[in-house]
Structure 1
Amino acid sequence: MKIAFISDIHGNAHALEQVLADIKQKQVDLIYVLGDLCYRGPEPKRSLDLVRALNTEVIKGNADEWVVRGVREGEVPEKALAMMNRERDWTVFHLDPADVDYLKQLPSELHLSIEGVKIHAFHATPHSLFDIIAPGVDDATLQSSLMSAADSQIYVYAHIHKPYIRYLQGKVIINTGSVGLPFDGLPMASYATVEITAAGIRTAIERVHTDVESVVRQYEESRYPNAAMMTNVLRNGSV
């Protein structure tokens, strides 16, 4: 059984299509989506439609929460608050009310049992859509922040846009990275796979080439309100 975990699409429908094509080529059996579907990219509606067409389990990310109710003071740096709410308003304008309702009702975590392997999946932490758990934190922080479901064998999260795999006390922690906006200096889409076989469990971070300049043109042609910053992030794979 091969499982793909994708997340942080951020309205980059082109990158999502490339990832889904890669997933199909790798003959993945199941796909799960860990949030941040449509905010901060040039194609929010098409990104959301592609996710919904998967007919799979999807959870909410912080950016989905922002689409629903706006970005609040204290959640981002003060100097970014007004611009991020302009981006949020632009995104909502390009969605249907039913799309916003869909985002509102998304659950915040998944407890999966697949061929006897228990997997706990969430966006940022099991208790927050916003907390940041970086790749290099110490083992104690990793355990207290991410591993509250003690019976799970694999923990999968997203949010930080920096993919990694770590092993702790015989268990696996995976960050998927980002489909639409990688932050690790490599401007390629990222997702994670878990393969469960009779011999054991294999995990991997997958990277996929995308046409970055095509998406840059989409930001510019759509008159996205923060196009200059977002295209710089996209080109460099970092903030």
Structure 2
Amino acid sequence: MLNRVAVLSDIHAVLPALEAVLAEPEVRAADRIVLTGDIAAGPQPVQVLDLLVSLGDRIVWISGNADRELLEYRSGQRDSIPDPIAPWAAGQLREDHLDLLGRLPRSLSLPVHGLGKVLFCHATPRDDEEVVLVDSCLDRWREVFSELDTDIRTVVCGHTHMPFVRLAHGRLVINPGSVGMPYGRPGAHWALLGPGVELRSTDFDIEAATTHITQDCSYPDIAEWADYFLNVRATDADALEAFAPRDGRGHTP
């Protein structure tokens, strides 16, 4: 049984944001650091993966749809990726990075004090691109939970980059938000589990981070990328409007 687990989701290869979260005392003291996917698709994929690998067995890795897309692009299974920076990021990865990402599970469960058996995944337990939101209807939650074992009472997911905690059909659902590409408000967002749930946000010097990334990254549009995502130009309302058609809504939550 793990006493404390830090959950970092959707890092998207933003090294300054990751370093800020890893420096948090609660993260440094956590029994495990669980990464719920979309780790390397962004401006500093090599630096982020190398840092996380250096932390050894404290890191628990889960693949996200963006990580899968990097692998598919590099292996020739696809010739494009919807995220404009992702093909560039895929080209930066070494063979050991590709091997690592190729071994990652889509989900896994861990026992956490106070929360029982916790399932960690990227988007939903059954699919790495499915969308569920804080206001998704209960029928939608029943559908995405349909294949779960009854002993899983807590589910941690990411993918939509917006933090929330809610109850759905007796299961506690937690989204820690995004470390590297948050929607709604600045900061690197993450969660601390055990025995309860804390949604956390770590401030870092956005101006310095923007300078660092633009100097460190050869992606042609990196200045625009860094300005948009580090300064959180997309509001939570913008993100919810964009994601809403994909969660099957139309029913009363």
Aligned to 2:53: 52
195 and 26 in structure 1: CA distance in 2 versus 1, 3 angstrom threshold: farther
Aligned to 1:94: 92
Q: Say which SS state the counterpart of residue 186 (structure 2) adopts.
A: coil
Distance in 2 between residues matched to 1:163 and 1:147, nearest whole Å: 23
Offset of residue 237 of structure 1? 5.2
- 1:63-99 Cα shifts (integer Å, max 9, x gaps): 11121112958974xxx6xxx2xx2332133321111
- Aligned mate of 2:64, from 61, 66, 89: 61
Distance in 2 between residues matched to 1:75 and 1:67, nearest whole Å: 8
Offset of residue 38 of structure 1? 1.4
126 and 23 in structure 1: CA distance in 2 versus 1, 3 angstrom threshold: farther
Offset of residue 104 of structure 1? 1.3
Structure 1, unpaired ranges of 5+: 197-201
Offset of residue 126 of structure 1? 1.6
- Aligned mate of 2:39, from 37, 51, 57: 37
Offset of residue 159 of structure 1? 0.6
Aligned to 2:126: 127
Aligned to 1:6: 8
Offset of residue 136 of structure 1? 1.3
Percent of matched pairs sharing the same residue: 28
Distance in 1 between residues matched to 2:128 and 2:116, nearest whole Å: 25
Offset of residue 163 of structure 1? 0.6
Aligned to 2:221: 226
Q: Does the CA-based 8 Å contact 2:126-2:147 persist in structure 1? A: no
Alignment of 1:183-194 (within 5 A): 183=183, 185-194=184-193
Q: Does the CA-based 8 Å contact 2:22-2:28 persist in structure 1? A: no
212 and 148 in structure 1: CA distance in 2 versus 1, 3 angstrom threshold: farther
Q: Say which SS state the counterpart of residue 62 (structure 2) adopts.
A: coil
Distance in 2 between residues matched to 1:133 and 1:175, nearest whole Å: 10
Distance in 2 between residues matched to 1:143 and 1:73, nearest whole Å: 35
Aligned to 1:199: none
Q: Say which SS state the counterpart of residue 191 (structure 1) adopts.
A: strand
74 and 94 in structure 1: CA distance in 2 versus 1, 3 angstrom threshold: closer
Offset of residue 23 of structure 1? 4.7
Distance in 2 between residues matched to 1:30 and 1:50, nearest whole Å: 15
Aligned to 2:182: 182
Q: Does the CA-based 8 Å contact 2:21-2:27 persist in structure 1? A: no
Q: Does the CA-based 8 Å contact 1:119-1:156 persist in structure 2? A: yes
- 1:199-228 Cα shifts (integer Å, max 9, x gaps): xxx111001002222232234322323321
Distance in 2 between residues matched to 1:177 and 1:189, nearest whole Å: 8
Q: Which amino acid aligns with 1:3?
A: V
Q: Does the CA-based 8 Å contact 1:59-1:123 persist in structure 2? A: yes
Q: How many residues align?
A: 224
